[in-house]
C-alpha cells in the first residue's frame, strides 16, 4: 500500500511539472521589448512627441504585425492604449520604431510600459497573449 501511495505521488508530481512547463512555453511572448519610452517634447512644448518601442522577434518565422499594449501616466490620468507595428519583421533583428501614440498628451517623463499582446505571422497564423 505504501508503495502505491509513493508511485501515485510521483505520477502526480510529474504531471504537475509537465503542465507547468507547457503553460510557460505557451504563455511566453515571441517578442522581447528592449526599450519602451515616451519621446520628449520639442522646446517650448509640453506635448509628448510620441512613443519609441525597440524590440526583437523570437522564433523562426517573420512577423507581419505586432500589437503592443502601452501604458503611460502623467499628472492628469493613467493612459492605456494599443499600437500595431506592421511590416515584414525577421526574427533575431532589433526593430526600432517611433509611433505617434501619446503625442496628444502632456509629457510627464519617459517611463512607459509596452507589452506585446498579438503577433500576426507572415504565414497568417496568430499568437495572442493569454489574459492575466
Question: What distance separates the 2 farthest-apart alpha carbons in the chain?
Answer: 80
Tell me what pLDDT residue 19 has. 38
| DSSP label at residue 58 | -
CATH number of the domain that 115 lies in?
2.60.40
DSSP letter, residue 105: S
Dist CA 119 CA 95 (whole Å) = 14
Task: Please report the pLDDT score of residue 28 as a whole number.
Answer: 85
Q: Is residue 40 part of a domain?
A: yes
Per-residue pLDDT tens for 10-41? 444 444 433 333 333 345 899 999 999 999 99
State residue 118's pLDDT score: 97
Number of domains in the chain: 1
Instruction: Answer yes or no: is 45 within a domain.
Output: yes
Q: Is residue 53 part of a domain?
A: yes
Does residue 98 fall inside a structural domain? yes
CA 9, distance to chain mean position in Å, is: 37
Q: Domain residues for 33?
A: 28-128
Of 132, 129, 131, nearest in space to 29 by CA: 129
Q: What is the pLDDT of residue 130?
A: 92
9: in domain: no
Within a domain: 64: yes
Give Cβ neighbours of residue 78 (< 8 Å, ≥ 6 apart).
Answer: 71, 72
In a domain, 112, yes or no: yes
pLDDT value, residue 23: 39
pLDDT at 25: 39
Domain presence at residue 96: yes
Band (pLDDT 50/70/90 cuts) for residue 2 is low
DSSP character for 102? T
Amino acid at each position: 500500500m505504501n508503495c502505491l501511495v509513493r508511485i501515485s505521488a510521483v505520477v502526480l508530481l510529474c504531471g504537475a511539472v509537465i503542465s507547468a512547463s507547457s503553460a510557460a512555453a505557451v504563455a511566453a511572448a515571441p517578442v522581447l521589448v528592449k526599450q519602451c519610452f515616451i519621446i520628449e517634447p520639442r522646446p517650448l512644448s509640453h506635448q509628448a512627441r510620441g512613443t519609441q518601442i525597440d524590440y526583437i522577434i523570437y522564433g523562426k518565422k517573420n512577423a507581419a504585425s505586432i500589437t503592443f499594449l502601452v501604458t503611460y501616466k502623467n499628472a492628469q490620468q493613467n493612459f492605456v492604449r494599443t499600437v500595431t507595428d506592421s511590416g515584414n519583421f525577421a526574427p533575431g533583428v532589433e526593430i526600432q520604431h517611433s509611433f505617434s501614440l501619446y503625442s496628444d498628451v502632456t509629457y510627464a517623463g519617459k517611463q512607459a510600459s509596452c507589452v506585446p499582446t498579438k503577433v500576426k505571422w507572415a504565414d497568417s497564423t496568430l499568437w495572442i497573449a493569454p489574459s492575466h
